[in-house]
Each structure stands twice: as structure tokens, then as C-alpha cells.
Chains A and B, each alone.
Chain A
Amino acid sequence: MTVVDEASAATGKAAAAISQKPRRSTIADGSTRKSRTVRYILLLLFLLFVLTPVYVVLITSFKTSADTTAAEQWSLPETWTLEPWRKSWDVLQPYMVRSLSLAVPAAIIASLIGSANGFVLARWRFPGANLVFAFILFGMFIPYQAVMLPLRQTYQELDVTRGIPTLLITHVIYGIPICTLIFRNYYATVIPTEIIESARVDGAGLIQTYLRIILPVSISGFVVTLIWQFTSVWNDFLFALFLTQQTNGPVTLGLAALAGGQKVDYAASMAGALITSFPTLIVYILLGRWFIGGLMAGALKG
């Protein structure tokens, strides 16, 4: 299985494969009651391991600063307070607004471009299309450090203030490869070549074919790329650090500032970590199936 195969699986197929109930074999499945118990105990232990940080974040975020002494770190708050939440919300609120106004349009624009590109690369091919595909694909693997310095300089020379608008453009551009890849493989799996051929025979042009045949069946592709893009833009720190400032940056910068520095307010930092994670967590909880699809396709983009 290659990345590209995974991406074609992305749009539901893989997610479905995972959630598929394993079939009850007619022949004994080889597990005894004892081995099943052992399996359960192990799973529960791992569950504890994964959830430990969640417990810590939750309890700490409701503690008063007097309550966060070393000895009390793992106990429930003696007095529950919303103060850390209020405090970190006051700091993070403008960042949250900026991140939202960044991540939503960045996801939509990159997805639209990706859909058009993907359609052409999968079903309206031209000579050299594979070369173009490789050209695009490489763009999603590069460490962005390799473009960061001249990128800053480009925006400087264009004399635009570095802030959310430039960050938005940046995320759209570097999001195009992954969206193109996802859509290309999606269309290659769900759109039979014959349909396109017959549309062409009927004299339908590229735009007509795209609008009438492709777009109506693209919804699941869009769900995957929108979720993927939204999550990675929301969680991005590297571009934010290089291309914006504390005063006009997105939420990851805000959280880093809140939780950094000399005298850290742990309760407020933990509340802040939760607040900034809410949007992506909600997406994950509501659309988890599709989220997995995006992960399958997009994991190569760090």
C-alpha cells in the first residue's frame, strides 16, 4: 500500500474498513477466555495511559493557584474554580477569532482548488500529467523551514503587513498538494472513466463535465479535505511563528505565549490548552469517521 492508495482509501473506504465488525469465523477464532481477559486488561491499561494527560488537564484547569502545589498535583481540586478558564479565555479570545477567520476560508479555498486539480489529474488527463502530479506531490513533503526565510522576505518586499491575510494565502498554497492528492484518488475510485468518455462524446466540455458530473458526487471528498485542512491550519505553529507576531497571530501563538515565560500559571495554561483544542476536538467527535480518512491520506504532511 502506498500513500496514494491510502489516500484513495481515505474517502470512507478505509474508515469503513476499520469500523467494519470483524466477522465471526465459523472456525474457532483461536482465542480462549483467558487470552480474551488478558487482552481486555492490556487495552484498559493503554486506555489509562492515553487518558492520563486528559485527567491532569481537566483537574488542573479547575484549581486555584494555591491548589497546584507539588503534593496536590494529582488530587481533585479542593475548591473548584472557573477562574483559570476565565483568565485564559480573556487572553485567547482574540486569537480564537483570528484562527477561525483563518482556518475556515483556508480550508474552503484549498479544497476547491484541490477538487479541480484532482479531477483533471484523474479523469481529464493531458500529456505529462504524471510529471505534474509528482511536481505537486513533492510540495507536501518539504520541511517548510526550507522556504520560510524567502517567504518572509517575499511578503516584506510586497510590502504587505504580515498577519492573518498573508498566513491565509500561505496555508492555501501549501495546502493545495494534499487536497489535490486526496481528490485525485477520490475521483479515480468513484468516477468511472466511461462516464467521462460518454460526456465527452456528447460534446460536454471540461467545465460542464465538472459541474454536472463531478461536483455533485464530491461531497465526501470535500468533507475529508475540509476537515484535514481545517485541523492542520488550526494546529499549525511553524508558519504562525515565522509569519505573524504575538499581536496578530493565531491561537497556537496565543497558547504558547500564555503557557511560556518565567512565571507560568499552570491552571490557566491547562484551561488554555483545552480551549484551543475544542474546535478540532469537536470536529473529531462529530466527524471522526471522516477525520480518520483525512489522516490516512494526509499523514505525510507534518
Chain B
Amino acid sequence: MHGRIRTWGPGALVLLPTVLLLGYFVYGLIAWTFNTSLTDKHSARPVPTNHVGFENYVNLFGEDRFLNSLKNLGVLTVAFIVGTLLFGLLWALLLEKGVTGEGVFRSVFLFPMAISMIASGVVWGWLLNPSQGDDARGLNRLFDIIGLNFLENPWWTAGNRWTTMASIALPAVWQLSGYIMALFLAGFRGIPDELREAARVDGASEFKLYRYVLFPQLSPIALSALIILGHMSLKLFDLIYAITGPNQFRTEVPSVYMWNTLLRSDMAKSAAIAIVLLAVVAVLVIPYVAYTVRQESEE
């Protein structure tokens, strides 16, 4: 036994600082946030606080503003995932067989990922200017110039939730479709040639080749992409902050609402929003992490 400890002991020792650090900064602080969310610490004043159980959560889910932010988040997530998967897959399909200048296309489609969401938000805020008609600016002005006036719209200032949140999703789609393209492209290129050739020899049409031979091979990648995009969308903050500012009810999502609540020094409520956000992300991610680690250990 002593000998065995001597072999693995140093390894465990290397990981000890990381485990301690993350133990405090991830798990400890989450527990702290959760604890705060159960109190009535609603101001910065140093008054004694009491535990009030789940009162803050009950209040949140009975509140129009929070429910609005959840609905916004739902719509944003759907629009963002559908848009990104669509563009990403389409670009990968267009490039997959190899075209002249493929490197240029790939680089251009991917470059927005290198840019901060604040920088792209500054630019998209300009592009998504709600003015129309003679005073049209940004994309609306462009539509006017190229004769597509019917496309002019009030973007995120529109009265309806779908138009509003789809306008917020648009820059995010612009920024992340290239990444999904890269994932799918790697997937396509990883499929052995023999599979395609065999299908062609069997007389399969192009459509059938993709539908029955190639796409099924890509479904694990599609699942990864779905989780990646879903969890990005749930956390989206910078882009909304940069495009509309943090104080817009119509584009508010929980991550932004949490910041606004903190600005009013309502610690308990802010913590409760953060915990709800964490719970939503965890539902998506924990099964995935568990599955990933289990697969690893089977290898």
C-alpha cells in the first residue's frame, strides 16, 4: 500500500492546488451565492439579514419582469441555435467538396469569432439602427439603397418579442456560424472516402448520399454543437449590453436582469437570478459532462 501511494501520491499532489482553488472559487462561491439568495439582503445597508427560505425565488417567478426575461431568453436561444446551425451547416456543405479559394472562405467565415462581443456589439448596434424611411440608418439604409425597402424594420425596438430577440440573435449568428461550419467541415472530412464511393457505386443520388450516408455520421457533432450553442446563448450578456444598453426591458434576459438588480444593491434577488441561470445551464450541461467523462473512462 505504501508503495502504491508513493507512485500516485505526487500526481494527486499536483492536482491539489487546482482542486482547492476550484473548490473555493467555483463550488464554494456557488454555495455562497445560493446562501445569499435565501436571505432578505435587499440593500447595501449593513443591517442584519435573516434567512427567508425560498421567498426570493417565489417572488421572482411571480414577477412579470423576470418572466419576461425568461421568455426573451427562450426566443433568443431558439433563434440563435436555428440560425447558427443553418448557416454553419450550409457553409460546410458548400465547402465540403472543395472549391478554389476554400481557405479564403473558411478564414472569412471564421474571423468574427476572434472579435469581442463588445466590439461586434458596437458595430451591430450601428447596423441595427431602428430609424426607417428617409431617416433610415444602418442596415435599413442599405436595404433602401439596394431597393429592398420592404426588409426595413425596427429591429430590436419592434413591439413583438420574436422580431426583437431575433435582431439580437442576428449578430450572434454572424459571430458563431463560422465555428459551427468548422465543426461540421471537420466532421465531413473525417468520413472515410470508401463510404461515399460505395454509396455512389450503389447508384445513390446525391440527396440520398447526404440523407442516408453522410448526415447520420454527423449527428454526434450536431449534438455537441447544440449543447455548445445552447449554453452560450443562455449566458449571452456582452452583446446585449453593447447593442441596446443594459436597461432595455424588451431585450432583457436573466443575465442582464441580474446585473441591473445588483446595481440597485439588491443582493438577495440578484443572487437568486444567478442561481436560476446556473440551474438552467446545469440541466443542459451536467448530463453532457457525465456522459463525456464516463465515455473517457471506458476507453
Contact = CB atoms under 8 A, between A and B. Distances in A.
Given A120-B15, A273-B123, A295-B113, A238 B209 contact: no
B22 A146 contact: no
A237 B237 contact: yes
B299 to A, nearest CB: 9
B289 A137 contact: yes
Nearest to A24: B98
B235 interface: yes
Interface of A: 1-4, 6, 9, 14, 17-23, 25-31, 36, 39-40, 42-43, 46-47, 49-53, 56-57, 60, 70-71, 73-74, 113, 116-117, 119-121, 124-127, 129-130, 132-139, 141-151, 153-154, 173-174, 176-177, 180, 200, 205-207, 231, 234-238, 241, 252, 255-256, 259-260, 266, 269-270, 272-274, 276-277, 280-281, 283-284, 288, 291-292, 295-296, 299-300, 302
Interface stretch (B53-61, B158-166, B195-203): B195-203
Nearest to B204: A30
Contacts of B259: 241
A234 B289 CA distance: 27
B169 interface: no
Contact of A132 (B15, B134, B145, B221): B15
B115 A147 contact: no
Nearest to B285: A141
A4 B209 contact: no
Given A2-B224, A27-B201, A299 B179 contact: yes
Contacts of A132: 15, 19
Identify whether the interface residues of B are mostly helix, strand, loop, or mixed.
Answer: helix
B47 interface: no
A271 to B, nearest CB: 11
Contacts of B271: 149
A147 B30 contact: yes
A136 B18 contact: yes
B189 interface: yes
B122 A259 contact: yes
A22 B189 contact: yes
B213 interface: no
A154 B18 CA distance: 18
Interface string B275-286: 101100110011
Interface stretch (B3-11, B64-72, B74-82, B148-156): B3-11
Interface residues of B, number: 118
Interface in B91-135: 91, 94-99, 103, 105-120, 122-127, 131, 134-135
24 contacts: A6-B183, A17-B186, A25-B193, A25-B197, A31-B97, A31-B206, A43-B105, A46-B94, A50-B111, A56-B123, A60-B126, A70-B134, A73-B137, A134-B293, A136-B19, A138-B289, A143-B274, A145-B277, A149-B33, A149-B270, A180-B18, A206-B14, A234-B116, A300-B231
Nearest to A130: B297
Nearest to B178: A50
Contacts, number: 307
B296 A4 contact: yes
Nearest to B146: A74
A138 B284 CA distance: 12
Contacts of A3: 224, 227-228, 288, 292
Contacts of B15: 117, 120-121, 132
A277 to B, nearest CB: 5
